[in-house]
Structure formats: structure tokens, C-alpha cells
Amino acid sequence: MKLKTAILLCALLAAVFALAGCAGNKDNPGTTTSASQMTDNTIPDGVYDADDDGIVNDDGTEVTENMPEATGTRPTSDDAFEDLRPTDVTDSGIVTGTSDTTGAITSDEAAFASSYITRTALKNEKIGWGLGKERDDANRPIDAVKAEEKYSALGARFLTGGEKQICLTFDEGYENGYTASILDTLKEKNVRAVFFVTYDYCRTAPELVQRMIDEGHIVGNHTWSHPSLPDCTQKEVWNELTTLHEYVRENFGYEMTLFRFPKGEFSERTLDDVRNLGYTSLFWSFAYADWDPNAGTDPAEALAKIEASTHSGIYLLHAVSSANAELLGSLLDYWKTEGYSVGAEF
């Protein structure tokens, strides 16, 4: 009898504790409630349903954690953040206005745009762009062909799209006294080119930048201070591109749309960062060691090397090279006789 009474007492106490637990759940948000306790897919007032990621809500609707500031991933729907996006940041990430007080891009704008375009699913492993010697039957470097296929979806170009089409580009980290001669030759041959500039170049040689624009060439963004972008945070990438973008727009009335990675060092993440800022990343399918003005490159040897590598592609020359300035006219004549169109198009 005593044993029976003890069993009944234990059962009664268990029931009391169970009821107390249910009552406590109603007053304690965050308690997980199983689907079997729900009716008509409705969560009782005050009871929160947590998913596997710990995201909760109290109205029975599915919750998706996609705020860029919280997760570092781009939202699946841009419409969800229309009320959060600054009015002067477009869908592509380009700042279209400036601060009301100083006329400069604010750190808040840069920080927001940086977090907004973040896509952490992409790798940030640094890739140093270079070309092997293997070529296809059109004399194009196989590495460039493969890179065009792999990275074009991220806004990168390594080759031209037309038959017998050459895109001629120059990198302008600093002025070494040869750009005027290069521009003279291009004007004489009626050829347009792409010049990638840094802030320091724009500041020290504004007359040459203006001449590039006036004579129909394309001026491209080569960053504010020429860092290796995979080493930068996304906010720093944003600042490197947009600060120069605004400087060129304000001082030359020109909108840049092409970008070249400093040192040719990039990553999947930085390609996507650049693309989301409204730029196309232009790499190259030919380059030689012409960036060192003390290398003493012989113009005849350099010309022979470039001619032997002729293909439909993007050519990188550095304007700091005296050899490039000297050989350019002969090179343009050679390409013309071989039936190539040369210009800034790709």
C-alpha cells in the first residue's frame, strides 16, 4: 500500500512539474517548441520557434538571416533592403552623390556599400596573374583562354572578343617623360588606347590625363594608392576604387568604367567587389618586363618579341618604358599590315 501511494505521489509531482514547465515556456522567449505542439502552422503567442541556426521569430513565418552586416553575405533580394540603402549608392555600388556638408564620400557610405556587396562564399586566395608559354592555334596564350572562361562571370576580361582584334592598354603608375610621345604616336596613327591611372599620376600629370580624355582614349581606374587588393578589406577595396573614381569625375568630368588590378594580383572575392562597383576588370594576354626603366630593354628586341606574340587579345605596355615609346609606331604599322584592328575596344 505504501509503495502504491509513493508511486501515485511521484506521478502527481511529475504532472505538476510538467504543467509548470509549459507555463514557464509561455513567459520565456527563445524556448524551442516542436512542430507537433503547433496547430494550423501557428505559433502560440509568446512562444518562439528557433531554426537550426538559432534564428527565431514570433509570428509563424520563416526567418532568413541575410542582413549583410550580420552575416557577410549579399541578401538574396535587393528589394528587401531598399529602405536601408543610402540614396546615393546605386544598385551597382557606385556612389552617385556626395556628403551634404563636405562634398566627400563618407565613411558610413563606404562601410555600408562594402558590407552590402560582401560575398564570403568567394575565395580570397591571392592569384598573381601571369602567362605560360603554351598557345592555341590562334597564337593565344592557353592561360588567358582558360581565365576568360573561368572569370568572365565575375566581370574579368583577358582576351578580345573579335577576330584579329587587339586592345592596346598602358599602365600609368607615375609619369616618366614618355607618355606625351606615346600620345603623339597614337594620334598620328589614329589609334585609341586605354590608360590605367593612379591618384598620384592624376595629381602630378593632370595635363596628360586631360589630353588622354580630349583625344578619345579611355582612362581606367588603377586604384588610389596601388595596393595588392586581396590584402585589403572590402571597405579598403571600396575606398581605393571609389575615391579615385570621384577624384577623376570631379577634376576631369570623366566617368571611369574599366579597372586594372595593381600588380595583376586578384582573388575571386576582389573580382566580385570590383564588378559590384560597376567596373569591368581588364587583364591582359600579353605583357613583357617593361615596367623597370632601368632594365635597358632594346627597342628592336622588344618589338620582335611583341610581333612574334601577335594574337587577338589585350596588350599591356608600361608608359615608363622608353623602348615602348620608341617602338610603338613600328608596332602599330606591323599590326595593320597583318590585318589587325587596334584600339580601346575588347
184 in active site: no
Cα angle value 170/229/123 (rounded, 5°): 120
171 labelled catalytic: yes
74-82 — which CB contacts under 8 Å span 24+ positions? 74/116, 74/117, 74/118, 74/119, 81/116
Q: Which residue has the cell 502560440?
A: 44
What are the Cα distances from residue 344, in Å, to 13, 62, 167, 193, 315?
85, 50, 5, 5, 10
Question: Residue 76: how many CB atoms within 10 A of its CB?
Answer: 8
| HSE-CB of 85 using CA atoms within 13 angstroms | 23
**Residue that has been written with the C-alpha cell 586592345 in this structure:** 167
**Comparing C-alpha atoms, which of 263, 317, 316, 258 is closest to residue 282?**
258
Catalytic member of 171, 272, 273, 290: 171
Q: How crowded is residue 286: how many other Cβ atoms within 10 Å of its Cβ?
A: 19
Which candidate in 83, 292, 318, 333 is catalytic?
318
At 7, which amino acid appears?
I
The C-alpha angle with vertex 188 and arms to 184 and 189, in degrees rounded to 5, equals: 120
Contact assessment for residue 290 and residue 323, using Cβ atoms and an 8 Å cutoff: yes
Active site residues: 171, 318
